[in-house]
Structure 1
Amino acid sequence: MYVLKHGIKKNPEKRWALPDRIFFGHGACAILAGTFLKHPPLEGFYGERIISDEGFSGNHIYVTNGLIAFDYHGYCARERLLEHHERSWASRNTGWHCAIAKVDFDLLDKTELNRRKMLGPDQYLHDPIPRARRFLQRRNHAEAAARALGTATTLAADYRPAVSDPT
């Protein structure tokens, strides 16, 4: 997990100068997810939020179809994204826990984002939406999603819940 140096998120020039993956992974994830949903490269996706418990950092927004997810890393099995996020934050913050919630607001609306302590598109040094579009255009979504789906399907096939013997 990449850790930002202190003060970068509060400095508009330094924040904007971050590489795309770091920019969208550390604060602008809602903008990336909202741009994805506004012009979806694949159908069937919706936004989800990782909401850390009170007093902890580690919130995140991504898009998912329930089986695979997309964020600044690209496509992966949804469960892998959640496990990675939890493992990363819990290893640095004793007692870190979170909730997962479906996004029920416009991810590009400043008022809605500010209500949830996130920046709206017009609160960055420059407009992040064209930057998010370019980030999305650099991917072969169908191919990457198919690879992630293969991983997710393998994970699901490997999962065998305990079944009690009915006899």
Structure 2
Amino acid sequence: MYRPASGFRRTAEERRDPLLSWNRDDLPFFAAGACHILAFAFMATHPHSGFHPVGLWPYGAEDPGHVYVTDGSWAFDHDGWTPQSTLLAATRAAEPGAGFRPRPIHTDLDTFCARHHHRPRHRFAFDPWQRALRYIARFPPPGAPADH
């Protein structure tokens, strides 16, 4: 069952202290605070996969509350592989008043961070890129044979 990013929001102290935020487990780290890093690391790893980054914008917001990648059917984020319809339904059910709507992101990571008030790589306690790549590798694509 998909676990919406809103269940992993950082505390005010974690938002102020990059090291405290960094020290969270991978799932909450990439659910809230580094979802955009995970999405762009996925795109760098799989540039010709048919996936693209998408932001979930709450109603009236200028910045997305969550970022993931999708090919229109499957989505990938902190919770691994999920049908996009399931991700959207669970996220909207967790915060019914937010009115989340998905919108494609057509910029690079640095531009996205600057435009949408998301922490750029150099503002984390450590560079999160390799951590994101290791996390992505933990989730084989849907239909891929499982390692034994």
**What is the Cα deviation at residue 57 of structure 1?**
8.9
Please give the alpha-carbon distance, in whole angstroms, between the structure 2 residues aligned to 1:59 and 1:32.
14
1:56/1:96 contact within 8 Å kept? no
Tell me whether 1:45 sits opposite 2:51 in the alignment.
Answer: yes
Distance across 1 between alignment mates of 2:51 and 2:103? 14
For the aligned residue pairs, the C-alpha RMSD in angstroms reads 2.2
TM-score in terms of structure 1 length: 0.75
Q: Look at both structures and tell me which one has the larger radius of gyration over its CA atoms.
A: 1
Which runs of 5 or more structure 1 residues have no equivalent in the other structure? Answer: 148-167
Q: Which amino acid aligns with 1:133?
A: L
Within 2, Cα distance between the matches of 1:82 and 1:129?
Answer: 26
The question of 1:99 aligning with 2:104 is answered no
Give the Cα–Cα distance (whole angstroms) in 1 for the partners of residues 57 and 80 of structure 2.
Answer: 20
Q: How do 1:56-71 residues align onto structure 2 when only pairs under 5 Å count?
A: 59-71=65-77
Q: Higher mean Cα deviation, 37-46 or 26-35?
A: 37-46
Matched letter for residue 119 of structure 1:
R
Among the aligned pairs, what percent are the same residue?
28
Displacement of 1:56 in angstroms is: 9.8
- Aligned counterpart, 2:126: 126
Match of 1:161 in 2: none
In the TM superposition, what whole-angstrom CA distance separates every residue of 1:12-52 from its partner, at most 9, and x where no partner exists?
Answer: 11100010110110011010000000111871111111011
> Is the Cα contact below 8 Å between 2:74 and 2:84 reproduced in 1?
yes
Whether the 8 Å contact between 2:9 and 2:28 is mirrored in structure 1 is no
Do the aligned residues in 1 keep the contact of 2:58 with 2:101 (CA within 8 Å)? yes
TM-score (norm 2): 0.83
Rounded Cα–Cα distance in structure 2 between residues aligned with 1:48 and 1:70: 10
Deviation, structure 1 residue 139: 2.2
Equivalences for 1:147-158 in 2 at 5 Å? Answer: none
Between the aligned partners of 1:123 and 1:6, the Cα distance in structure 2 is: 16
Counterpart in the other structure of 2:85? 79
Give the Cα separation in 1 of the matches to 2:29 and 2:20.
Answer: 10
